[in-house]
Amino acid sequence: MPPHPDPAEISLQQVLEALVDPVRRQIVRELHAAGEDLRCGVIDLPVSKSTATHHFNVLREAGLIRQYYVGTSRMNALRRDEVERAFPGLLALVAADTPSGAQLSGVG
Amino acid sequence: MPPHPDPAEISLQQVLEALVDPVRRQIVRELHAAGEDLRCGVIDLPVSKSTATHHFNVLREAGLIRQYYVGTSRMNALRRDEVERAFPGLLALVAADTPSGAQLSGVG
DNA sequence: GGCTTGGTTCGATGGCTGTCGTACGATGGG
DNA sequence: CCCATCGTACGACAGCCATCGAACCAAGCC
């Protein structure tokens, strides 16, 4: 399994590059909401398998998730504490975001 | 002067797209550090004038700064409170960032 | 009026990245 | 062993975006 960056090596630049993509924010949101590690497959992404792999890689290289194998499945773990320590409040912003811009409950 | 988005219309997507560029984060940092509105010219950017104009536009359209004319100069104001209300802690993350990755005082 | 300063607009360009399909690899079940 | 499942690796492609230079405009000053 390719290397994970040390907590101290996580850069804001790379984290922002990772989080600027809506698909990758969706992954982070679902991991955050689930509260547990998830296999790649259980996250329903609007892209092909190869593209999904790409997105998971970007998140891992940015230091946002940790990946490990379980059988033929790859598990994904949100690096909550480390990210929170490096960038306080960042995960909360992503988690609170509403992809379809439906944050206005009284819309319509 | 082109329109500024309402505070309620500021989207995380657009804000991240704005902040993912190092030049634009530099602008935000300097506005944050200055604590007052700054003319475009006083921020020393590593790009040409036309590119700088582009970056200021992106920041304005994302809702991060407010722009108004003073004579032939364009003033830039960080929309602190509105951004803070929409995305708590985000400005602090950008402000605390060290572009050259020199945040580790005890490195070596 | 003419010059300088400060910034915008336009068009072109290069590189990056998100996307896909296909082929491949590994694990586990019958 | 054969096959299904889950994910990776590779190569190709399209679209976007940061960048620049040159031309332009507006305000102030002498």
Q: Is A16 on the interface with B (CB under 8 A)?
A: yes
pLDDT of amino acid B101: 47
**Helix/strand/coil (H/E/C) assignment for every residue in chain A:** CCCCCCHHHCCHHHHHHHHCCHHHHHHHHHHHHHCCCEEHHHCCCCCCHHHHHHHHHHHHHHCCEEEEEECCEEEEEECHHHHHHHCCCHHHHHHHCCCCCCCCCCCC
Q: Is A86 on the interface with B (CB under 8 A)?
A: no
pLDDT of amino acid A7: 80
Q: How far is the CA of B108 from the C1' of D16 (A)?
A: 40
Instruction: Please compute the mean of the pLDDT values over residues A90-94 and round it to a whole number.
Output: 98
Q: How far is the CA of B72 from the C1' of D30 (A)?
A: 18
Q: Is B97 on the interface with A (CB under 8 A)?
A: yes
A30-73 pLDDT, tens digit per residue, is 999 999 999 999 999 999 999 999 999 999 999 999 999 998 89
Report the residue of chain B nearest A99, measured CA to CA. Answer: B13
B73-105 pLDDT, tens digit per residue, is 999 999 999 999 999 999 999 999 988 644 444
Instruction: Please compute the mean of the pLDDT values over residues A16-39 and round it to a whole number.
Output: 98
* Nearest nucleotide from residue B57 CA, by C1' atom: C8
User: Which of B8, B12, B97 has its CB closest to that of A12?
Assistant: B97
Q: Is A13 on the interface with B (CB under 8 A)?
A: yes
pLDDT of amino acid B74: 94
pLDDT of amino acid A53: 97
CATH code of A7-96, in short, is 1.10.10.10
At residue A8 the predicted structure's pLDDT band, cuts being 50, 70 and 90, is confident
Higher pLDDT, B17 or A102: B17
User: Which of A8, A12, A104 has its CB closest to that of B93?
Assistant: A12
Could you tell me what percent of chain A has a pLDDT over 90? Answer: 80
Chain A CB contacts of B8 under 8 Å are: 104
Annotated domain spans of chain A:
7-96
pLDDT of amino acid A99: 80
Higher pLDDT, A27 or A108: A27
Q: How far is the CA of A58 from the C1' of D11 (A)?
A: 19
Q: What is the residue-averaged pLDDT of chain A?
A: 91
From the list A40, A38, A94, A9, the residue with the least C-alpha distance to B11 is A94
